[in-house]
Structure 1
Amino acid sequence: MRSTSPIILFYTSYFGKPVDIAAIPECGSPVEWTNDRRRLSEATAVVFHLPDFREIADARKYGGQDWVAWSMESRRNYPLMADPRFMRHFDITMTYETGSDVWAPYLPPHAFWQKARASPIARKTETALAVHFQSSKFDDSRRGALVAELSHHVGVDRYGRHQPNRHVEGPDLGRQTKLEIISRYPFCLALENSIAPDYVTEKMFDPLAAGTVPVYLGAPNAARFVPENSYIDAASFGSPAQLAAYLRHLVETPAEYQAYFAWRDRPLPERLADWITQSEVAPTCRLAALVHRRLAERQPGLSRRSSLPFGPLPFLRARLRRWRKG
């Protein structure tokens, strides 16, 4: 027997793989989650993962149905997110941007910050001053040029699939191993793949968890997402040479270096603590609550006639592409 709860359909894949419905947590606002496209006409809301935009054009939109634009990727890497002609087809946004209808930031939960405070700062045993992890080739931020130039002035050990000069020794336990490696360096290059407001990812937070100072390149408002004086803003230096000189100065002046860890002994800023509390409720649960509210406000008797928002030709192309994939 089918549920009488609102149906939320994940129409697209998530980077080519089906959305894992079983992993969605239980919410206070009951909904039925599905990724069965055959149920499109029944769905109260339909979620589209924007990086998989090629799968969107063959969707019909039914009267009274909400379409959700979902992405955790920078709008710099996916310009459709900034295209009003494309975005006008969506009723709800669910992204990392603070202005989204359902805000889905990369902010770690309160438990992360408590554990970071309680963990001792490891001895910095590596010869190189900085470590950098990178696997993706995306480089809208020009992080590659920064790493290359900085490496002329200070030692930088590079891990990951993109141009590494060091490799994990022994078993690789994923994030645990990554944090253990980071903890051995005074600095970690935390370089986003693009620069966009609010786009502050785990690259900033992993060094804080490891007891290392992030050297950050990314969101111009990154300071809103972390405690005061907890990171170094690479963009505030006139050149990589000046940044390198400052890193050397900090290592030679322990008191100034240690000042970057003073946040561990202070309460989180109230605004940041409020954001963390808000984001600890799963985005899917907040989406479910919003769908319930919008459904309650909807006028009864709306026509369920469908339309092709992107037009017949894109519809046919998308169907053909899906047929070729089997």
Structure 2
Amino acid sequence: MGAAKKEPESPPKTILYWTPYYNRTDFTVGLGQDPFIKFGCKVTNCIATADRKLLNQSDAVIFHALQVNSRDLPTHRHPHQRFIFFLQYAPHYFNWTMTHRRDSDVYVAEPYGAIAPKYWTLPAQLPDELPPDTLPANPAVLLNRKYPHLANRTKMVAWFASHCPTHSQREDYVKELANFVQVDIYGKCGTMECLPRNSQRCESLLDDYKFYLAAENSLCPDYVSEKFYRALTNDIVPIVYGGADYTDYAPPHSFINLADFASPKDLAAYLKLLASNEALYVEYFQWKKHYAVVRSPKKGWCDLCAKLNDPHWQSQRKSYEDVAEWWVRKLPCYPGSSFLLGHM
């Protein structure tokens, strides 16, 4: 009998980064095929490049919307190509979108984070579990045994902010909250400072706090930034303020949503209750038995590679007549004043 025929390999798909992503020409993803293998993608025949000479043979061309120069754009799009809006450009120029919005053609949550069941996560990323027969009945004992560092936290609320004032008017809410509970404000909105921003040294300051304000500077649908995942990673309870439905992003009882409280005074009273009751406080860490935080997930890039290989997606001929209409007006952000009116 002859040898079984080997299935033909799919031709590689080239993904061209036309712009950098801030100061990174590799979009924080990487170059070549290795990133798609490293991310554990089901489809790995994609090759990422920043070489513009490969434009004509590229299957996808990605533009970081905040760094697009209208005088520096490809003049022609081949039928097989997908020009991807990553994040007011010419009608029908973009035919795919790739953003944090859940109605994007390719939904991408990074570079911020995600919560995943532990069996999806590499063992090195998982906290140690206590053997089932040694689990204490008293949650306060569990706090001391499984999270001993939490029992030593003496400060209440931390907030790191690099922009002030903001569209969300988060600074107004925090100012009122500080009248009822200790809030230490680092950065441009307060009197405390830690440099360089986003460094490990600054993150280590969170070790002293029970709560962290994950307050977004804009109230936009589906937008959850690194602030939220920073708190969860550092075993601190996040207090969220944003336009997203946070139950889509994290397990129940892993965060406090200030929208659930009628006023900053009511929120402060609840924070004080948790701080004085270890059994209630530790309940906000029970989700860690089953889930882990994944910083900078790359699932969106795996989805992009898969869709570039999917005949169904490739057969669709579409373009966005006005990507600004989709981005700005279809699911608009809303001002902080409309939220604060009912919560101050």
Structure-2 residue corresponding to 1:69: 85
- Counterpart of 1:166 (choices 161, 177, 192) is 192
Q: CA deviation at 1:251?
A: 1.9
- Counterpart of 2:175 (choices 118, 123, 148) is 148
Q: CA deviation at 1:188?
A: 0.8
Distance 2:171 2:55 in 1: 43
Structure 1, residues 3-51: CA drift from partner, whole Å, max 9, x if none?
Answer: x733322112222553354386044432332223343333222111112
- What is the SS of the residue equivalent to 1:214? strand
Q: Are the structure 2 counterparts of residues 155 and 280 from structure 1 closer, same or farther at C-alpha, using a change threshold of 3 Å?
A: closer
What is the aligned-residue identity percentage? 28
Structure-2 residue corresponding to 1:180: 204
Distance 1:182 1:288 in 2: 37
Structure 1, residues 242-275: CA drift from partner, whole Å, max 9, x if none?
Answer: 211221222233332222223234x35xxxx9x9
- What is the SS of the residue equivalent to 2:310? helix
- What is the SS of the residue equivalent to 1:183? helix
Structure-1 residue corresponding to 2:271: 247
Q: CA deviation at 1:56?
A: 7.0
Distance 1:126 1:262 in 2: 18
TM-score, normalised on structure 1? Answer: 0.70
Structure-2 residue corresponding to 1:139: 166
- Counterpart of 1:45 (choices 37, 42, 60) is 60
Task: Work out whether 1:202 is the aligned partner of 2:226.
Answer: yes
Task: Work out whether 1:8 is the aligned partner of 2:32.
Answer: no
Q: Are the structure 2 counterparts of residues 246 and 155 from structure 1 closer, same or farther at C-alpha, using a change threshold of 3 Å?
A: same
TM-score, normalised on structure 2? Answer: 0.67
The unaligned stretches of length 5 or more in structure 1 are: 72-79, 303-308, 311-326
Distance 1:126 1:120 in 2: 11
Task: Work out whether 1:34 is the aligned partner of 2:83.
Answer: no
Structure 1, residues 218-238: CA drift from partner, whole Å, max 9, x if none?
Answer: 134101211111111112222
- What is the SS of the residue equivalent to 1:48? strand
Task: Work out whether 1:22 is the aligned partner of 2:38.
Answer: no
Distance 1:224 1:112 in 2: 22
Q: Are the structure 2 counterparts of residues 69 and 229 from structure 1 closer, same or farther at C-alpha, using a change threshold of 3 Å?
A: same
Distance 2:72 2:65 in 1: 11
Structure-2 residue corresponding to 1:191: 215
Structure-2 residue corresponding to 1:319: none
Is contact 1:117-1:264 (8 Å) kept?
no
Structure-2 residue corresponding to 1:223: 247
Distance 1:126 1:135 in 2: 25
- Counterpart of 1:285 (choices 280, 284, 302) is 302
Q: CA deviation at 1:134?
A: 1.7
Distance 1:102 1:248 in 2: 42
Structure-1 residue corresponding to 2:280: 256
Q: CA deviation at 1:191?
A: 0.9
- Matched length: 276
Distance 2:122 2:167 in 1: 29
Is contact 1:9-1:45 (8 Å) kept?
yes
Is contact 1:125-1:185 (8 Å) kept?
no
Structure 1, residues 292-324: CA drift from partner, whole Å, max 9, x if none?
Answer: 22599559xx9xxxxxx99xxxxxxxxxxxxxx
Distance 1:205 1:297 in 2: 34
> What letter is aligned with 1:166?
M
Is contact 2:115-2:250 (8 Å) kept?
no
Q: Are the structure 2 counterparts of residues 132 and 17 from structure 1 closer, same or farther at C-alpha, using a change threshold of 3 Å?
A: same
Structure-2 residue corresponding to 1:115: 126
Q: CA deviation at 1:87?
A: 7.4
Q: CA deviation at 1:173?
A: 10
